Structure 1
C-alpha cells in the first residue's frame, strides 16, 4: 500500500459515493488506474464495503446505550451461545468481547429509554449467562467514524 492507496481510502471514507472520475481527480490518477486500485483494495480486504450514514433519530433509533456486561461462566459453550444470541438481536449494533473486565462491551440503539428498559429486562438480563450489566447512556455523540 502506497500513499495513493491511502489517499483513495481517505477520500472514500469522507465520501463513499464519489464517482471513479471524481476519486481519480482527487488522488491524481486517471480513471482506469484509479478503478484498478479500488478493485485491488476491495479484493485485498482493505475496503470491506460501502454504506449509508443514517440519522438514527430519524428512524426511531436515537437512544444509544453502552453496556458493560460480565458472564457467570466463561466456558466455550456458554460464551458461544451468549455471543450468538446477542449478536442476533437487532437492537445490538456492536458487540465486543474484551480482555479482562468487563467481559463484553455491547452498544445498543433503541427508540427511547422505555424501549431500552424493556429490551434489557426481557432480552439481555434474562439470558442465563449474564452475571452483571452496567448501562451507560450516551448524553451527546461528539465524534463518530462510520
Structure 2
C-alpha cells in the first residue's frame, strides 16, 4: 500500500497568519515553493490555511494593495484540508479531487510533516491515473 507519507514532499515551512504577504512571497522565492501552510501562532502551529503565490497576486496585488501591508489572515479562506500520513494514495486522490485542490498537507501525530503537490502525484502515479486526477481537479464547473 502506497501512503501519503510515501509520496509527500517532506518538511514543513510555515508562516503565521500575522505574517505579511511580502514575507510569504520572499519565503516562497527562497524555498522555490508555490504555497505555504499558515499556522495560528497562539495554538502551537495549528494549521489554519494555505497561502499560494496566486493568492498574493489575485487577492492583494490585483486590488492595488501592498504585500507589505497585507497579512496572511487577509487572504486565507475556509477550512484547510489535510490528510493523515498513513492514508492510502486512493484517499489522497479522493480528498484532492473532491475539493479540487492542488496541494494537500500531510499530518502525523497532529503535526504537519509534509505536503503533497501535483508534482508529487505526477512522479508517483501512472500517467493514466494522473490524467484522471487532473481531469477532476481542472474540470470546468
Confirm or deny a common fold (TM above 0.5): no
TM-score of the two chains, using structure 1 as the length reference: 0.25
RCO comparison, higher one (Cα < 8 Å, 6+): 2
TM-score of the two chains, using structure 2 as the length reference: 0.25
Of the two, which has the highest radius of gyration?
1
